[in-house]
Amino acid sequence: MEPVCNLSEKRCTPCEGGTLPLSQEKIDRLLPSLDGWGQTGGEISKTFEFRNYYETMAFVNAIAWISHRENHHPDLEVGYRQCRVRYSTHAIGGLSENDFICAAKIEHSLFSV
Protein backbone atom coordinates (compact mmCIF):
# COMPACT_ATOMS: atom_id res chain seq x y z
CA MET A 1 0.00 0.00 0.00
CA GLU A 2 1.34 3.43 -0.97
CA PRO A 3 1.17 5.75 2.06
CA VAL A 4 -0.71 9.04 1.85
CA CYS A 5 2.45 10.94 2.76
CA ASN A 6 4.14 9.70 -0.44
CA LEU A 7 1.13 10.71 -2.54
CA SER A 8 0.85 14.11 -0.85
CA GLU A 9 4.47 14.85 -1.74
CA LYS A 10 3.88 14.22 -5.46
CA ARG A 11 2.70 16.77 -8.01
CA CYS A 12 -0.09 16.29 -10.53
CA THR A 13 0.95 15.87 -14.14
CA PRO A 14 -1.18 16.66 -17.18
CA CYS A 15 -3.00 13.67 -18.64
CA GLU A 16 -1.87 13.64 -22.24
CA GLY A 17 -3.79 12.07 -25.09
CA GLY A 18 -3.71 8.32 -24.83
CA THR A 19 -3.40 8.28 -21.04
CA LEU A 20 -5.45 5.39 -19.70
CA PRO A 21 -7.42 5.41 -16.44
CA LEU A 22 -5.87 3.52 -13.53
CA SER A 23 -6.53 -0.20 -13.39
CA GLN A 24 -8.82 -1.45 -10.64
CA GLU A 25 -5.79 -3.25 -9.18
CA LYS A 26 -3.90 0.05 -8.82
CA ILE A 27 -7.01 1.78 -7.41
CA ASP A 28 -7.38 -1.03 -4.86
CA ARG A 29 -3.75 -0.47 -3.77
CA LEU A 30 -4.09 3.32 -3.43
CA LEU A 31 -7.55 3.71 -1.93
CA PRO A 32 -6.85 2.19 1.53
CA SER A 33 -4.22 4.89 2.14
CA LEU A 34 -6.98 7.54 2.03
CA ASP A 35 -8.95 7.33 5.26
CA GLY A 36 -12.69 7.47 4.66
CA TRP A 37 -12.51 7.82 0.87
CA GLY A 38 -14.58 5.45 -1.23
CA GLN A 39 -14.86 4.55 -4.87
CA THR A 40 -18.08 4.70 -6.83
CA GLY A 41 -17.72 3.99 -10.51
CA GLY A 42 -15.06 6.20 -12.01
CA GLU A 43 -14.58 8.51 -9.03
CA ILE A 44 -13.35 8.65 -5.45
CA SER A 45 -15.17 10.70 -2.85
CA LYS A 46 -15.42 11.63 0.80
CA THR A 47 -17.83 13.76 2.82
CA PHE A 48 -16.24 16.05 5.42
CA GLU A 49 -18.27 17.30 8.40
CA PHE A 50 -17.78 20.67 10.15
CA ARG A 51 -19.17 22.59 13.14
CA ASN A 52 -20.58 25.48 11.09
CA TYR A 53 -20.81 27.14 7.70
CA TYR A 54 -17.69 29.24 8.26
CA GLU A 55 -15.53 26.13 8.78
CA THR A 56 -17.10 24.48 5.77
CA MET A 57 -16.28 27.46 3.57
CA ALA A 58 -12.72 27.67 4.94
CA PHE A 59 -12.30 24.03 3.91
CA VAL A 60 -13.69 24.78 0.43
CA ASN A 61 -11.20 27.64 0.07
CA ALA A 62 -8.34 25.37 1.13
CA ILE A 63 -9.40 22.87 -1.54
CA ALA A 64 -9.53 25.70 -4.09
CA TRP A 65 -5.93 26.58 -3.22
CA ILE A 66 -4.76 22.96 -3.57
CA SER A 67 -6.69 22.60 -6.83
CA HIS A 68 -5.18 25.75 -8.27
CA ARG A 69 -1.62 24.68 -7.37
CA GLU A 70 -2.10 21.20 -8.84
CA ASN A 71 -4.30 22.29 -11.77
CA HIS A 72 -6.64 19.41 -10.93
CA HIS A 73 -10.14 20.21 -9.72
CA PRO A 74 -12.74 18.18 -7.83
CA ASP A 75 -16.50 18.36 -7.94
CA LEU A 76 -17.76 19.79 -4.64
CA GLU A 77 -21.17 19.55 -3.01
CA VAL A 78 -21.32 22.17 -0.29
CA GLY A 79 -23.86 22.34 2.53
CA TYR A 80 -24.11 24.22 5.79
CA ARG A 81 -21.94 21.80 7.82
CA GLN A 82 -20.51 19.45 5.22
CA CYS A 83 -18.69 19.22 1.93
CA ARG A 84 -18.56 16.20 -0.33
CA VAL A 85 -15.42 16.06 -2.46
CA ARG A 86 -15.43 13.96 -5.62
CA TYR A 87 -12.41 13.36 -7.83
CA SER A 88 -12.18 11.84 -11.27
CA THR A 89 -10.14 12.76 -14.31
CA HIS A 90 -12.69 13.75 -16.90
CA ALA A 91 -10.08 13.95 -19.69
CA ILE A 92 -9.49 10.19 -19.48
CA GLY A 93 -12.94 9.09 -18.35
CA GLY A 94 -11.85 7.54 -15.06
CA LEU A 95 -9.38 7.78 -12.22
CA SER A 96 -5.78 8.90 -12.55
CA GLU A 97 -3.00 9.17 -10.01
CA ASN A 98 -3.78 12.91 -9.92
CA ASP A 99 -7.07 12.15 -8.18
CA PHE A 100 -5.27 10.27 -5.42
CA ILE A 101 -2.54 12.92 -5.14
CA CYS A 102 -5.09 15.68 -4.57
CA ALA A 103 -7.12 13.61 -2.11
CA ALA A 104 -3.91 12.86 -0.20
CA LYS A 105 -2.99 16.56 -0.17
CA ILE A 106 -6.39 17.35 1.36
CA GLU A 107 -5.88 14.70 4.05
CA HIS A 108 -2.32 15.82 4.71
CA SER A 109 -3.27 19.52 4.89
CA LEU A 110 -6.17 18.94 7.25
CA PHE A 111 -4.69 16.43 9.60
CA SER A 112 -0.99 17.21 9.76
CA VAL A 113 -1.27 20.46 11.72
Q: Are 47 and 83 in contact (CB under 8 A)?
A: yes
pLDDT score of 54 more than 80 = yes
Q: Structure pTM? A: 0.88
111 confidence band (pLDDT: 50, 70, 90): low
Mean pLDDT across 30-50: 95
Q: Are 103 and 87 in contact (CB under 8 A)?
A: yes
pLDDT score of 3 more than 80 = no
Tell me which fold the domain 22-111 belongs to: Gyrase A; domain 2 (3.30.1360)
Mean pLDDT across 32-54: 96
Say which range, 1-5, 6-10, 56-60, 79-83, has the weakest mean pLDDT: 1-5
